Structure 1
Amino acid sequence: MSSLCPFAKGASVGGACPMKSVNNEKQQAENENKGDEESNPSDTVSPKCPYGFDSHTFKLGPLSCMICQSLLYQSSKCIPCSHKFCRVCISRFKDCPLCGADIEKIEPDTDLQVVVDRFIDGHARIKRSHGNADATEVKDVPKTVIYGDVSMERGAFLVQQAMRAFRGKNIESAKSRLSICAEDIRDQLQTSGDTPDLCSQLGAVLGLLGDCCRAMGDASSAVGYYEESVEFLSKLPAKDLELVHTLSVSLNKIGDLRYYDGDLQSARSYYAKSLDVRRNAVKEHTNLSSQVVDLAISLAKVADVDRNLGNEDVAIDGFKEAISWLESLKLEPSEAGLEQRRQSVLEFLSNQLAEKEPQQPVATV
C-alpha cells in the first residue's frame, strides 16, 4: 500500500470534503502560530481535533487501538481486564498487550464503537460561523458559514487511518475507512463532475482498496477495484508522475493477478499497457532515473509472459532491452535506495537470460 496521500494535490470543492495539500496544512499551522501578527481576511480560525487526529499532532487517544494505532474498528474488550482494542488486533493475543493479564474471553463493545463511528462521520463536517463576535450584527446581512475541518481534511484523515490499520495488519479496518472515503468522493463527483482532482483521488483510493482485497485473498474484488482505478486515472493528462506511477502499478497488479490465475494472455495485455504508460513517461522525463527502473520492470514482466507463452526469442529481446536500460543508468550516491532496486531487477533479468526457464513475475514496484 502506497504511503503517498492521494489528496496531496486536491482542491476544495464547495462546502464538502476539502482536499488541500499537506504543504497547505503546514503553512496554516505556521500562520496560526503567528497569533495577532497578521490578520486573517476571513477571520477564520482553524478548529482543532480534541483527540489530536491530524497530520501534525497525532497521538493515541481514547478512540484508538493501541495495537494497530488506528481508530478502533469492531471495538472489543478483554475479559477480565476490560482493556479495549480492535477485534482483529486483539484476537492475535492470548495475554493483554497493555497489562499482561490472561485473556479469558473477548466481548464486543458496541457502545464505544458507536462513539468511534460518530466521530468518523462528523469529522471535517462541523458547521462554524465566522466574523467579529463583538461587532454589531447588521440586519439582513448573511453570516459567513463554512464547514470547518476538525483537524485535517476528511479524505486525508480517512486515508491516514486506513494506512495505519493496514500497516498494523488490520485489513478489515483499512478497507472500511477507504470505502467511506471512496463514497465521499463519488458523492462529490455527482455534483462537481469528473474534475482532475477528484478523479486522481478516487483512482488512488480505489487502488488502495484493491490492495486491501488482495491482502485478504479476494482476488476478484481486487481486480475490480484496480480496473476502476485505471478507468479514473486514464482520464487524466499523463504529465503528473505520481499519477502515471499509480496508473502503471494498478495495471501491473491486474496483470499479476491474471498471471497467478493462469490467464497469461490477459496478463500480458495488462503488462503491455503498463509498459506503454512507462515508455511515454520516460520520453517525457528522460532525466528521472526512477522512470527508467520502472520501465525495465515492465519490460521484464512482458518478457516473462512471452517466455511462458512460448515466444522465447521475443522474451529474450525484452530481457536484453531491460538490461540495456538499467546498465546505461548512472545514479548519484544519494540514490542508494534506487540503486538497490536497480541491482535487484538486474539480478532477476540476468537469471532469466542464464536459466531460460519461466519464473514468477518480477514484483510490482
Structure 2
Amino acid sequence: MNMTPVCPFVKAARPDDNNASKKLGENSMKHQVDSESKVKKEANDSASASPKCPFGYDSQSFKIGPLSCTVCQALLFDTSKCVPCSHVFCKACISRFKDCPLCGADIVKIEPDANLQGVVDRFIEGHARIKRSVSSDNGEEAAESKQVIYEDVSLERGSFLVQQAMRAFRAQNLESAKSRLNLCAEDIRDQLEKVGNTSDLCSQLGAVLGMLGDCCRAMGDASSAVSYFEESVQFLTKLPKDDMEITHTLSVSLNKIGDLKYYDGDLQAARSYYFKSLDVRRDVVKQNSNVPSQVLDVAVSLAKVADVDRNIGEEKLATDGFQEAIDLLESLTLKSEASGLEHRRQSVLDFLRSQLPDKQEQAEATV
C-alpha cells in the first residue's frame, strides 16, 4: 500500500480522503493530518530566544549527516556496522542488503554500534533545549542576578521527531518511526500537563497517536493499531467540537478504525465507525458550510458508509448514499485558484458515479 506521511505540525492540503478507491480507505500515514495541526508559535515573553538546535539543525535544513542512515535518510536507529567496511546504518535498513550500499563491499556480518547509537540518543535528548535568560525591568542590578534556565521547545522538537519518523516510515523502518513518534507523544503529553488542552497540542497528539496506529498497522499489529486510534478518539472526543483541526483529526481516527474493521470482515462495526465519522463531519459542515474541504470530507464519508451498505446487501441504502454524495459535490462551487481541490472533487465524483447503475440498467431493472 502506498502511504504518504504528512507532518501534523505543518499545515498542508488534506491528504486523507484524497483518493477514491473501491473502499475509499485512507492511506496509512495520511492521517489526521493534512490540514492537520498547524505550527503556531506561542507568544514568548521578551526574554525568550528563538528555538535552535544546539547541533545546528533547523526546519529548513538537514545537518545531521554523521548521525543519519543513508538508506532511510532518518536518524540512526538500532545503529549497526557492516563488517569489514565499517559503514553504519539502521539495523532494519542494512539487513536488506548483501553488499554495503555505500561502498559495495560484501557484508560478512553486521555488528551493533552502541557508541554511535549513544551519540544519536544524546542528540535527540538535547535537541531544541536552549539557554533562556529571565529578564527584568530593574536595570543593571537585575542583569547581574538574572537566571539562566533550560527549556524544551516542544513544537520545534516535535516537528523534528515527526520529520524523522516520516522518513523512517517511508523507508519501511517502522520500529524507528514508532520510536520517534512515541517520544513525540511523550513530549506533547508533558506540554499538555503544563499548559492545558490547547487546540494545537490536542490536535497534534491526536495526529501522532494516529500515526502510531499507522505504524502498528503497517507492522501487521492490527490490535495495537486499533488501540492507538481508539486512544486518539477518546482523547479528542472530550474536547470542544468548534475547532476544525480537532474535528478533522477525530473523524479521520474514526475512519481508520472503520477501515481496520472493514478489512477484518466486521462490516457492521466498520459501518458504525464510518457513520460516527460522517456525523462529526456533518456537524462541522453545518457550522462551516462555506469550507469546500469540509464538504468533500462529508462526501467521502457518505461513500464509505454506502460501500459497506452495498456489501451487507442494502443496495437501496447504498445507492441513496452514493447519490447524496454526488449531489453534494455537484453543487459545490470552487474558486478558480482551488485547482488542487477541484482535482480531488472530480476524482471523488468519478468514483461515486461509477458506483451507480446507468440509466439503461435501471430501466431494465424496473421492467
Query: For this structure pair, what is the TM-score category when the shorter chain's length is used for normalisation?
Result: 0.7 to 0.9
C-alpha contact (below 8 Å) 2:210/2:253 kept by paired residues: yes
C-alpha contact (below 8 Å) 1:319/1:353 kept by paired residues: yes
Q: Distance in 2 between matches of 1:151 and 1:264?
A: 40
Q: Distance in 2 between matches of 1:47 and 1:333?
A: 39
C-alpha contact (below 8 Å) 1:52/1:151 kept by paired residues: no
Q: Distance in 2 between matches of 1:236 and 1:151?
A: 21
C-alpha contact (below 8 Å) 2:258/2:269 kept by paired residues: yes
2:133 matched to 1:102? Answer: no
C-alpha contact (below 8 Å) 2:216/2:222 kept by paired residues: yes
- Match of 2:208, as an amino acid? V
2:230 matched to 1:227? Answer: yes
Compared with structure 1, are the counterparts of its residues 91 and 332 closer, same or farther at alpha carbon in structure 2 (3 Å cutoff)? Answer: farther
- Give the drift of 1:57: 3.0
Partner of 2:14: none
Partner of 2:17: none
Match of 1:80 among 81, 84, 87: 84
Match of 1:118 among 116, 122, 130: 122
Match of 1:285 among 288, 308, 322: 288
- Match of 1:93, as an amino acid? F
C-alpha contact (below 8 Å) 2:217/2:225 kept by paired residues: yes
- Give the drift of 1:189: 4.1
C-alpha contact (below 8 Å) 1:46/1:148 kept by paired residues: no
- Match of 2:236, as an amino acid? L
Match of 2:270 among 267, 275, 278: 267
Q: Distance in 1 between matches of 2:178 and 2:161?
A: 10
**TM-score, length-scaled by structure 1:** 0.79
The 3-state SS of whatever aligns with 1:106 is strand
- Match of 1:265, as an amino acid? Q
Q: Distance in 2 between matches of 1:332 and 1:194?
A: 35
Q: Distance in 1 between matches of 2:336 and 2:215?
A: 35
Q: Distance in 2 between matches of 1:257 and 1:289?
A: 28
The 3-state SS of whatever aligns with 1:76 is strand
Match of 2:344 among 333, 341, 345: 341
- Give the drift of 1:239: 3.0
C-alpha deviations, 1:273-322, integer Å up to 9, x for none? Answer: 11011112222222222112111110011111112222221111111101
Partner of 1:307: 310
Compared with structure 1, are the counterparts of its residues 138 and 257 closer, same or farther at alpha carbon in structure 2 (3 Å cutoff)? Answer: closer
- Match of 1:98, as an amino acid? L
The 3-state SS of whatever aligns with 1:153 is helix
Partner of 2:59: 55
- Give the drift of 1:329: 2.2
1:109-258 map, 5 Å = 109-126=113-130, 129=133, 143-148=146-151, 153-190=156-193, 193-258=196-261
Compared with structure 1, are the counterparts of its residues 144 and 50 closer, same or farther at alpha carbon in structure 2 (3 Å cutoff)? Answer: closer
- Give the drift of 1:47: 6.5
Q: Distance in 1 between matches of 2:100 and 2:291?
A: 49
Q: Distance in 1 between matches of 2:10 and 2:179?
A: 18
What number of residue pairs does the alignment pair up?
Answer: 328
The 3-state SS of whatever aligns with 2:276 is helix
Partner of 1:32: none
Moved more, 64-73 or 47-56: 47-56
CA RMSD, 1 decimal? 3.1
C-alpha contact (below 8 Å) 1:73/1:113 kept by paired residues: yes
Q: Distance in 1 between matches of 2:74 and 2:224?
A: 24
C-alpha contact (below 8 Å) 2:202/2:246 kept by paired residues: no
- Give the drift of 1:263: 1.1
C-alpha contact (below 8 Å) 2:293/2:341 kept by paired residues: yes
Structure 1: tracts of 5 or more residues without a match:
9-19, 29-39, 356-365
C-alpha deviations, 1:144-180, integer Å up to 9, x for none? Answer: 3332458973222222221222223211111001111
Moved more, 187-196 or 210-219: 187-196
- Match of 1:207, as an amino acid? G
Q: Distance in 1 between matches of 2:267 and 2:50?
A: 53
The 3-state SS of whatever aligns with 1:115 is helix
The 3-state SS of whatever aligns with 2:357 is helix
- Give the drift of 1:208: 1.1
- Match of 1:341, as an amino acid? R
- Give the drift of 1:223: 0.7
Q: Distance in 2 between matches of 1:147 and 1:241?
A: 34
Compared with structure 1, are the counterparts of its residues 286 and 108 closer, same or farther at alpha carbon in structure 2 (3 Å cutoff)? Answer: same
Q: Distance in 2 between matches of 1:323 and 1:7?
A: 31
2:330 matched to 1:327? Answer: yes
**TM-score, length-scaled by structure 2:** 0.79
Q: Distance in 2 between matches of 1:184 and 1:225?
A: 17
- Give the drift of 1:195: 4.7
- Give the drift of 1:119: 1.8
The 3-state SS of whatever aligns with 1:345 is helix
Structure 2: tracts of 5 or more residues without a match:
12-36, 359-367
Compared with structure 1, are the counterparts of its residues 351 and 41 closer, same or farther at alpha carbon in structure 2 (3 Å cutoff)? Answer: closer
Structure 1 stretches (4+) deviating beyond 6 angstroms? Answer: 135-139
